[in-house]
Structure 1
């Protein structure tokens, strides 16, 4: 048989758990927002780069890919691609825990 104090204790524990979960969710939301903002900036950089290469096409039909090959022969990814890969690997999934 439960005493009058037990439901209050259960309610207090449940509220503490909810506060903790909400705090974790807010932190995750902030991380996701930062990731989204970074992805947006990377997309804008890629759009600008694409526009640059489309503008650089010569009327004789020279391939912009060939024009870029000399500058990309260094064997490393551009910084924004590395950062994007790192962000996607760091993505933590939302855990589901009950009190």
Structure 2
């Protein structure tokens, strides 16, 4: 009778392992979603800044440097490339492991 119980135990262990892996993958997916949302907002910020610079350049009335200096005083925070690199690097990478 012990032989008949062995596949059930292995199946139970495999299902538990699958539950754990799926849970970890959900956490990783949530982190990736947050990272993608952050990157999207940074891209939008860069697009707006580029448009601002292009407008300042085409107006000819003020230099882009002066336009930039004016925008910094209004709470504009520069984009940290080091921060982006850290986000893209990720703490955990998906892994393919077997029970």
User: Which structure 2 residues correspond to residues 10-89 of structure 1 after superposition, within 5 A?
Assistant: 10-58=10-58, 64=64, 67=65, 78-89=78-89
Q: How far does residue 85 in structure 1 lie from its aligned partner after superposition?
A: 1.9
d(CA) in 1 for partners of 2:59, 2:49? 19
Native 8 Å contact 2:57 2:63 kept in 1: yes
Taking structure 2 as the reference length, what is the TM-score of the superposition? 0.75
Alpha-carbon offset, residue 86 of structure 1:
1.7
After the TM superposition, which of the residue ranges 84-93 and 46-55 deviates more from structure 2? 84-93
Residues 46-79 of structure 1 deviation map (CA, whole Å, 9 limit, x = unaligned): 000000000001455x974xx27x95xxxxxx34
Number of equivalent positions:
89
How many Å separate the matches in 2 of 1:48 and 1:59? 16
Which residue number corresponds to residue 4 of structure 1?
4
Secondary structure class of the residue paired with 1:92: coil
* 8 Å CA contact 1:57, 1:63 repeated in 2: yes
Dislocated runs of 4+, deviation >4 Å:
none
Which range is displaced more, 6-15 or 82-91? 82-91
Contact 1:35 1:87 in 2 (8 A): yes
For structure 2, which runs of at least 5 residues remain unmatched after alignment?
70-77
Cα separation, 1, equivalents of 2:91 and 2:51: 30
Runs (5+) with no aligned partner, structure 1: 72-77
- TM-align CA RMSD: 2.5
